[in-house]
Structure 1
């Protein structure tokens, strides 16, 4: 899948340590509702468990023509031939990552300041994840970002920006004028009674973004 064709509109980030059987069901339903890209995030799992889950999801998402992004772990991304890797500010530096992975692998970088965003673009990131825009249980130590700061970052870089952090059906509309390429969602889809319905509702709002 070519980088230029990646759709970041509705970016699903998985919740930690959900059994693979449940995870594949949720992802299949969410993709049918409009999720356009999936990031597997496993901060506390063993390498073997992470690999098995990543391998299973790669097979599933290949069938669905949806890119798989691996959070943090370059080794896992390479092992399953994932479409991309997403790194944070405390991970290996982006220039080092770029030397390790194929040229066609998507690289996303988490940023929380304008300086980090500009540096990520300068170092060759394909997109940035910006946040946390709202309080989130997924990352309780995350620093909250004002919507105004999010807008400044989106205006200041030419690569796509995806908002992340506590985004729900109730607050997503407040991001509509930020200049985002998409929003990353965890609990609003992963914990929904119907991941398909939740995805459809979120995507409908996202499509009205400016």
Structure 2
């Protein structure tokens, strides 16, 4: 096997507590129709059984759409689900240990809020970096100080790995973030809390496509 292909363009990070106006399954279904390209399940409090059940329910929608599932932090659950990969922060299990646990055929993502963290990430271990928070965010209790597009750009320049920007990102941020060097944007509330998740996802996807066009 080889590691799954992945597209960071519109990366949805979600858990049950993030969804506002719909059931989780309905929100995810609509977001996929809108063009979400990668999905991460993030739930720090669910027990193992509940987490795996939730992941399987999501995979019934993700697999037909060809969209990979990434699991935040929980390596054993990721393996149980046959997920495409695991994403960890600087304070979670080290990326090296994650790679040893999941083997060579899954993706490993790593959060980075500083260029020195990005520069230290080994491309033989890590597949992509999550850079942020771009803005202050309420969807992550332990979020670090916002670094804005300029800070994201510094992380992009510090590493050869593809970078996805996260943290309070909205559609209007996309041009500056693409100009800074990102391969995509990761969002929580921008889609999960939207009354129309399909339109929200489509707007982000369209903004990414427009921003990538040559001037």
Aligned length: 209
Change (3 A) 1:72 1:4: closer
Q: Does 1:137 align with 2:138?
A: yes
Q: Distance in 2 between matches of 1:209 and 1:157?
A: 21
- Consecutive unaligned residues in structure 2, runs of 5 or more: none
Provide the residue aligned with 1:110 in structure 2.
Answer: 111
Show CA shifts across 1:94-118 (max 9, x none).
1111111131101100111011111
Show CA shifts across 1:95-144 (max 9, x none).
11111113110110011101111122356200000000011111244221
Provide the residue aligned with 1:38 in structure 2.
Answer: 39
Change (3 A) 1:2 1:192: farther
Provide the residue aligned with 2:93 in structure 1.
Answer: 92
Compute the RMSD of aligned alpha carbons.
1.9
Q: Bigger CA drift: 91-100 or 31-40?
A: 91-100
- Consecutive unaligned residues in structure 1, runs of 5 or more: none
State the Cα distance separating 1:146 from its structure 2 match: 3.4
Secondary structure in 2 matching 1:17: helix
Provide the residue aligned with 2:60 in structure 1.
Answer: 59
State the Cα distance separating 1:171 from its structure 2 match: 3.3
Change (3 A) 1:146 1:199: closer
Provide the residue aligned with 1:195 in structure 2.
Answer: 197
Q: Does 1:83 align with 2:84?
A: yes
Provide the residue aligned with 2:152 in structure 1.
Answer: 150
State the Cα distance separating 1:75 from its structure 2 match: 0.5
Change (3 A) 1:87 1:189: same
Change (3 A) 1:82 1:182: same
State the Cα distance separating 1:178 from its structure 2 match: 0.9
